Structure 1
C-alpha cells in the first residue's frame, strides 16, 4: 500500500465517522490515487486533478468529470493538513449543469392499470399482492419507494391510521396519515402475507418470496415490466420521460393539490376507490378538508 493509498483509507474512515456515506468518493478516489501514484505525484495538484477529471474513455464530455473534481477537492483539503505542497482545486474549475430528465406524472388511469397489471400478470399470489399494494400505497400516501421498502410491521399504527417513516431523507422521521380505505388494503395484505409466510426472517411489512425485505433493484425491474406491459406512456419520448417507480409519489402530491383547490380526483383502484361507497366517503372527506384548508363554504 502506497502512502497516498493509506491517506485515502484514513480520509474515508474519518468522513464515515462524521456520518458521511461517501458513495461517490469511495468509488472515484481510488482511481485518482492510482493516477497520482502512476505519475509520481506525492500529493494533489490542480493540474493532476484536472487531467484526471478530464479523462474519458470515449473522448466525450460527461458529468463524471465534475463529480471527479468534487471528490478530488475534498481529498485535497484533507491532504493539505499533511503535505504542505498540496494544491486544492478551486470551485468552478469544471462547472456543469445537471441534466434532469422530465418526470412522468402517472394519471389516475395509469395507477389503476399498474395495479391491475400486477394483480393479473404476476403468478405468485403473495408477490402479486405485494406489488399491487405497494403501488397503491405509494400513490395514496406519497411515500418514497425506499421508505415503503424500509417500512416495518411495527411502523403501522392500525388504530390511528398512521404510518411511522423512520430516519428517511436527511435522517428525519415523520408520521404519514392514511385514509381508512388505505388501511383496509394494508390490513388485507398483512393477513395474506401472514397466512402465506407465517415465519418471516425479517420484520419488514412488505415481504419477498425469500421471506426477506424487498430489494430496490428487483422492485425497479419489476415495476418497469409492469409499465411496459400496461402500455403506460405509449407515444412519450423515452429520452425526456422518467418512467420510474419514484414518480408515483408525485401523483399523491397532485391529488393533495387537487383537494386543496376544491376538487377530488380519486386514484382509481388505489385502495378501494373503485367501490362507489368508498368514492362517496372520499368525496365527503375531501369536502370537509377543502373547507378546513381553503376556507371554503
Structure 2
C-alpha cells in the first residue's frame, strides 16, 4: 500500500471516531510528501529520522511529529500494512515548555495605536484594531474570533455565539459595554461594503472576505514590530497574536485578586468562559506573571495566618 493511501485510511478512521485530527493530518501529509510515492512498508528508519529532525534546532514539534507517527504506525502494524516500525527507539529530551507572553497595558495601547494607523493589503486598520480588542477583551481563540458570522454577534443582548470551536464545543460569551460599542461601530462600517447576510463573516478583509488566520498573524507581526513589542527573556519566539488570550485570562485573575474575590471558586466560571474542557487548562494561568504570583502568595499567607490563629 502506498504511503499516501495508508495515511488517507488512517486519517479517515480517526475522523470517523469524531476527532478533528486536523493538525495530525497536516503532519502526516507533510510526512508523505517527504517520503515520496513509496509503499508504506518500504520506508526506512533513516528517512523517518530525517523527517523528525528537520533542518532547525530541536523543538517540541519533534515530539508532536513522533507521537503522530507512532499512532499511524501502530494502525499500520495492526492491519498488516507494515511488518516493522521504522521509528527511533529512544526520544531526545523534550525542550523546556514554551511560556506565553503576557502583554502589559502599555504594550496593548501601543499595539492598538499601531493597528489604528496601519493597513495591509489584506486587512484594513479598523479590522485589525477590532480584532485586537475582541481577543484582548474576551480571550477568544483566534480561530473562534475569525469564525464569527454576523448572526453570531448579538449586540442587543451583548453576547457572542461561539459555534463548533475546539473539542466541538459551542458556548455563549457575554461581552461588556465598551467592547459592545467597538463591535457596533465596526458592524455599521462593515455593512456598508458587505451584504447583510447572517452567514457572512463578521470580520472582513479589504476585499470583503473572511479574514484568514495567516493573514491576521501576518498583520499582527507587522503591528508588533511597529509598536516595538518584543521579548527580552531569551525565548525563541516573539510575542504572538494568540498570547492575547493568555493576557486576557491573567488580567481577569489579577483583577479578581485585587477585588478580594475567591479566585478558586471563580476558576470554573473562567474555564467555561474560555471554553476549556477541564479546569486544569485554566489553572495553568495562575503562575504566569510575577504580579499574579505575588497576589496568590499574599492570599495564601493571609489564609495560613488565619488558620494558625485558630489552631
Q: TM-score, normalised by structure 2?
A: 0.68
Q: Which residue of 2 aligns with 1:252?
A: 248
Q: Which residue of 1 aligns with 2:16?
A: 17
How far apart in 2 are the matches of 1:94 and 1:12? 24
1:184 matches 2:187: no
Query: What is the CA distance between 1:132 and its match in structure 2?
Result: 1.0
Provide Cα deviations, 1:13-70, integer angstroms capped at 9, x if missing partner: 33343333322122214545756x5xxx8467xxx44x33322575976666544543
> Secondary structure of 1:164's match?
strand
Structure 1 gaps of 5+ residues are 265-297
Query: What is the CA distance between 1:9 and its match in structure 2?
Result: 3.7
Which stretch shows the higher mean deviation, 51-60 or 240-249? 51-60
Matches within 5 A, 1:31-46: 31-32=34-35, 37=39, 42=41
Q: Which residue of 2 aligns with 1:54?
A: 49
Count matched residues: 253
Structure 2 gaps of 5+ residues are 261-311
1:94 matches 2:95: no
Indicate the structure whose relative CO is greater, using CA pairs within 8 Å and at least 6 residues apart: 1
How far apart in 1 are the matches of 2:189 and 2:153? 16
Provide Cα deviations, 1:128-181, integer angstroms capped at 9, x if missing partner: 111111111111111111111111111112232111111212221222111111
How far apart in 2 are the matches of 1:157 and 1:223? 26
Matches within 5 A, 1:1-297: 3=2, 5-18=4-17, 19=19, 20-21=21-22, 22-32=25-35, 37=39, 42=41, 48-49=44-45, 51-55=46-50, 66-83=63-80, 86-88=83-85, 93-122=90-119, 127-198=124-195, 203-233=200-230, 236=232, 239-263=235-259
- Give RMSD over aligned pairs: 3.4
Structure of higher CA gyration radius: 1
> Secondary structure of 1:261's match?
helix
Query: What is the CA distance between 1:100 and its match in structure 2?
Result: 4.1
How far apart in 2 are the matches of 1:229 and 1:104? 18
**Given that residues 101 and 247 in structure 2 are in contact (C-alpha distance below 8 angstroms), is that contact kept between their aligned partners in structure 1?**
no
Q: TM-score, normalised by structure 1?
A: 0.71
> Secondary structure of 2:160's match?
strand
Does the C-alpha gap of structure 1 residues 219 and 3 become closer, same or farther in structure 2, counting only changes over 3 Å? closer
